[in-house]
Structure 1
Amino acid sequence: MLALRMKKPPTEEELERRKIVGINAETVTHVTSTDFPGHYPQEEHFWDINIFRDNLKVEFHKNDPLEVSFSLVGVDASIANAFRRIMIADVPTVAIETVLMENNTSVIQDEVLAHRLGLIPFRGGKEGLHKFMNFLKKPADGEDPQYVDYNTIQLSLNVDCTHNEDAAKDEEDPSKLYHHANVYASDIEFHPVGRQTKYFAGEDAIAPVNPEILIAKLRPGQSIHCSMLMHKGVGSDHAKFSPVATASYRLLPTIKIKAPILGKEAEKFARCFPEGVIGLEKVTRKEAAQKGSEYEGHEGELKAVVKDTMRDTVSRECLRHDEFNKKVELGRRRDHFIYSIESAGQWNSDAIFLESVALFKEKARKLEQQVVNMVR
């Protein structure tokens, strides 16, 4: 029998090349992942947990309570998108679910006002919101829901608009002419019951994330009186339960300068990109003196160098100019995802991602159990 001749394993440079999505003037190429068994002859590419651990990286670029930016490297697009969808649809929060309207003489209809109230994000003690509060159990047909301290938060809004007797005679500003001309989220009152006084007291009390959210405008004689019930839910049921204002990702841009770009061309090339992406440096004496160097004889001239590709928006502006067509190669790295997450306020922005990882792990465990049951 003839022994099969094994192909040499791909070099690191070749593996990196396979990860790049080509960005051309009119087309995008190499969009499909190729690191799976059978694609390349005599290369296995079977999934290996040790290789996965070595390649997996998480690097934070910005970490504020309400906004976070980080890179997730070494995963497939399906996994990266699963985290994004879980953050939007499966991480639980609380929001106003029921509005009991007692008196509403404003120009806003009851159902519209209730909808506006439901979209206001609320904050509170992290332990109370995420550990103490549970989901409200859906009652059976004919049964009343059981409201208790661990599944329902009570709120109220009671505002009456009246004339301000101390306002100047020539005053035209409604906020000075009247009391409560504008109804803000800060006018909503929280009424703790039971063990809620332990978890939602002081700075941890339930309150709007942004107290200046405008709910309605009133004029003298108009009033809003209502009580509200807040429950725990997830974004897949309604967008008001989603913990994020935005949750998105993009692939890391790559810029490869294949031939020297010097002088005025270098300055023009830098203007084709957002500020900070391309830098201008002088050709050193060492570079200019090196025989066969592409910079030979150009000592002191400005040259274009890649500084920070993460700032790039991949506008392809440089590809519009003929002088750069053969000198630059644009792309995106297929396994490098740059996330941008803005929290609505109930979760810290980085905690939303960590919670999505925990939920993804639980989903995988349930799927594994279903597969085992199916095989049996």
Structure 2
Amino acid sequence: MPRKAPSQEELEKRKIISVNAENVSDVTSTDYPGHWPGEDHAWDLDFFRSNLRIEFHQNDPLLASFSLIGVDASIANAFRRIMIADIPTLAVETVFINNNTSVIQDEVLSHRLGLIPFRGSREGLDKFLKWWKRPADGADPNNSYFDYNTVKLSLHVECTFNDDAAPGETDPTRLYHNAHVYARDIVYEPIGRQDRYFSGPDAIAPVHPDILIAKLRPGQVIDLSMHMHKGVGSDHAKFSPVATASYRLLPTIDILSPIVGADAEKFARCFPPGVIALEKVTRAEAAQRGTGYEGREGEPKAVVRDAMRDTVSRECLRHDEFRGKVKLGRRRDHFIYQVESTGQWESDAIFLEAVAHLKEKAMRLEQQVVNMVR
């Protein structure tokens, strides 16, 4: 016979991973069929919809922080991996060096150029530019470069003396012209129909124009051209749309018995600023028996203000005076994401694109399973 359905308190308890002084326990997911005898945990769309939530904490073009609540760790990690490795961007793939007399070797210079993030029209990047295919051995490579799969850039900088420099000047940027080569010195050269999509404020340009590429001295020259192609992070990190894409589980802090006075102040110092607050014991609390606040009116007591700020250092568990008074944990279905865009995609759009990619992967898998059964 099926046993009695678990209470809401029991269900919430199952979602907590216990963080102990020496180990972490209750790490196994429990929302699968057969894990709890007599309980049906088969996946249900309506139940999933009612529990799924997304809460944004910060949403800037280059940085987003949000909570994804109500999913399994496998799904949360799939989104993270897709954001890093599967969302396409543009990056320098081929560098044609005509002249490089700087102190930076050709291959190092090419690598630095490949890591510079570029921005451009979202419509042009998504709908106009297609994948570039490497030509077959023996084929003419010029027949593989078109306006819809290749973006051309050039960089021509020569360092010369500044005749107007003040006597005794020692700053190279004032002594010479073009002593420093920056990303803003790269010139976009539209070909074919590209000017329809990439012009004016939507032209392809470095996200951060002040990225230092090289330092030159009089007589040194960098003269080269570049081809940019679409790629994904699984091929090379330069194509990844994110600088970082990570998540962590929501920390939980339960104060089991009152922590008052000097102990409360010490307890607050065990956590990052803003996690624990100190409040004064009220007269009503001090008058109640059995609360632990008897006769402590006006003294500071420790309360949890914002557990999300906690880094789960477990510092409080090292002190004997807090033993048995606090319980630390993490919520297994609450993932706090931090997504830092390199600039070609807006940070929140990266996550939405990851959702679309996962949906497409699931549809392809479904079709493959159907074909296999047939």
TM-score band, normalised by the shorter chain? over 0.9
SS of aligned partner of 1:361: helix
Within 5 A, what are the aligned runs for 1:179-194?
A: 179-194=177-192
TM-score by length of 2: 0.97
User: Per-residue CA shift, 1:109-160, capped at 9, x if unaligned?
Assistant: 1111111111100011111112221111333333335211111111000011
Aligned position for 1:198? 196
Partners of 1:296 and 1:18 in 2: how far apart? 34
Shift of 1:281: 0.8
Equivalent residue in structure 2 for 1:90, among 86, 91, 107? 86
SS of aligned partner of 2:351: helix
Within 5 A, what are the aligned runs for 1:1-376?
A: 4=1, 6-143=2-139, 144=141, 145-376=143-374
Q: Which amino acid aligns with 1:198?
A: R
In the comparison of the two structures, how many residue pairs are matched? 372
Moved more, 78-87 or 31-40: 31-40
Partners of 2:106 and 2:296 in 1: how far apart? 74
User: Per-residue CA shift, 1:64-88, capped at 9, x if unaligned?
Assistant: 0000000001111111000000000
Q: Which amino acid aligns with 1:127?
A: E
Q: Which amino acid aligns with 2:134?
A: K
Q: Which amino acid aligns with 1:324?
A: F
User: Per-residue CA shift, 1:233-255, capped at 9, x if unaligned?
Assistant: 10011110000000000000000
Q: Which amino acid aligns with 1:298?
A: R
User: Per-residue CA shift, 1:199-220, capped at 9, x if unaligned?
Assistant: 1111111111111111111111
Shift of 1:302: 1.3
Moved more, 114-123 or 298-307: 298-307
The two structures, once aligned, show a CA RMSD in angstroms of: 1.1
Partners of 1:162 and 1:120 in 2: how far apart? 25
Q: Percent identity?
A: 72
Moved more, 319-328 or 31-40: 31-40
User: Per-residue CA shift, 1:76-108, capped at 9, x if unaligned?
Assistant: 111100000000000110001111110111111
Q: Which amino acid aligns with 1:56?
A: L
Partners of 1:289 and 1:129 in 2: how far apart? 68
Structure 1 runs of 4+ off > 6 angstroms? none
Partners of 2:303 and 2:211 in 1: how far apart? 46
Shift of 1:13: 0.9
Partners of 1:108 and 1:344 in 2: how far apart? 25
TM-score by length of 1: 0.97
Q: Which amino acid aligns with 1:95?
A: A
Q: Which amino acid aligns with 2:325?
A: K
SS of aligned partner of 1:369: helix
Partners of 2:4 and 2:295 in 1: how far apart? 40
Q: Which amino acid aligns with 2:54?
A: V
Q: Which amino acid aligns with 1:73?
A: I
Q: Which amino acid aligns with 1:115?
A: H
Gaps spanning 5+ residues in structure 1: where?
none
Shift of 1:193: 1.5
Gaps spanning 5+ residues in structure 2: where?
none
